[in-house]
Amino acid sequence: MINFKVVSGSMSPVIKVNDLLHLESFGNELKQFDIILFKRNSVLVAHYVWKNQISFNNTIVTRSLSNIYEDEEPVDLIEIIGKISNFKIPTYLRFKILIFCFLKGKF
């Protein structure tokens, strides 16, 4: 198991600064709201999966909890380091994100 320490609050309140992330392999089976760690421009980023486009173009669209309405630049499959196994987005927060995004037309 590989561990990483969090240095940003982009996934707060689920993941906080100084939390330790545990990674697991993911194959190609990533679902909406899975939290992944990926490398972008020499920086490690933890965000949640918004859209899995692996079967279409080998990318994942992610969002952060600090900006639930905006898609980040798509993540290439080869940039993904792993799926975070010790933190999950709670069901109530998933539901809240889905409703808010639907109401704002950001689905």
For residue 45, the domain's CATH number is 2.10.109.10
Q: What is the pLDDT along the chain (107 residues), one digit of tens a residue?
A: 667 788 889 999 999 999 999 998 887 689 999 999 999 888 899 999 999 988 889 999 999 999 999 999 999 999 999 999 999 999 999 999 999 999 999 88
**Per-residue pLDDT at 1:** 63
Whole-angstrom distance, CA of residue 28 vs CA of residue 32: 13
**Per-residue pLDDT at 85:** 92
Pure H helices in 1-106:
54-57, 91-104
Half-sphere exposure of 90 (CA within 13 A, CB side): 7
Q: How many folded domains does the chain comprise?
A: 1
Whole-angstrom distance, CA of residue 37 vs CA of residue 15: 12
Measured on CA atoms in the order 24, 27, 33, 36, is the torsion positive or negative? Answer: positive
Q: pTM of the entire structure?
A: 0.91
**Per-residue pLDDT at 10:** 92
Domain that holds residue 80: 2-104
Residues 72/63, Cβ–Cβ less than 8 Å: yes
Whole-angstrom distance, CA of residue 31 vs CA of residue 62: 11
